[in-house]
Amino acid sequence: MRRLLLAAMMFGAASGAEAADLPFLRGSFTDGLTTAKVNWQGYYIGAHAGYGSADENFNGSTSNMMAALLADTLVESQMQVSRWNLGLGKASARSSGYGGFAGYNWQWDDVIVGVEASYLHGKFGGSTNASEGRSQTLSDGFVHNVTAASQAAISITDMATLRARAAYAFGCFLPYAYAGVALGNANITRTVTATDVMMPGPIVLPTLTSTDAMHNHLIYGYSFGVGVDVNLIGGLFMRGEWEYVRFTSQVDTSINTVRAGLGYKF
210 residue type, one letter: S
165-176 mean pLDDT: 96
Judged on CB neighbours under 10 Å (0-12, 13-18, 19+), 4 is exposed
Residues 75 and 2 in one domain: no
Q: Is the dihedral of CA 41, 43, 49, 55 positive or negative?
A: positive
Residues 94 and 144 in one domain: yes
Structural domain range at position 187: 42-265
Angle subtended at Cα 82 by Cα 77 and Cα 84, rounded to the nearest 5 degrees: 110
Residues 147 and 224 in one domain: yes
Q: Is the dihedral of CA 67, 69, 71, 77 positive or negative?
A: negative
Residues 164 and 228 in one domain: yes
Beta-carbon neighbour count of residue 29 at 10 Å? 11
87-101 mean pLDDT: 90
Residues 25 and 57 in one domain: no
Nearest CA to 105 out of 117, 116, 119 is that of 116
The pLDDT value given to residue 85? 78
Of 25-34, 65-74, 149-158, which gets the smallest average pLDDT? 25-34
CATH of the domain at 225: 2.40.160.20
Beta-carbon neighbour count of residue 12 at 10 Å? 10
Residues 61 and 14 in one domain: no
Q: What is the mean pLDDT of the chain?
A: 87
Identify the three-state secondary structure at position 172.
Answer: coil
The pLDDT value given to residue 40? 96
148-161 mean pLDDT: 94
Residues 111 and 219 in one domain: yes
- As a whole-number percent, the residues of the chain with pLDDT over 70 amount to 86
Residues 116 and 176 in one domain: yes
Q: What is the pTM of this model?
A: 0.78
Residues 161 and 253 in one domain: yes
The pLDDT value given to residue 35? 55
Residues 28 and 87 in one domain: no
How many domains does the chain contain in total? 2
Residues 19 and 51 in one domain: no
50, 227 Cβ separation under 8 angstroms: no
Residues 28 and 108 in one domain: no
Q: Does residue 236 surpass a pLDDT of 90? A: yes
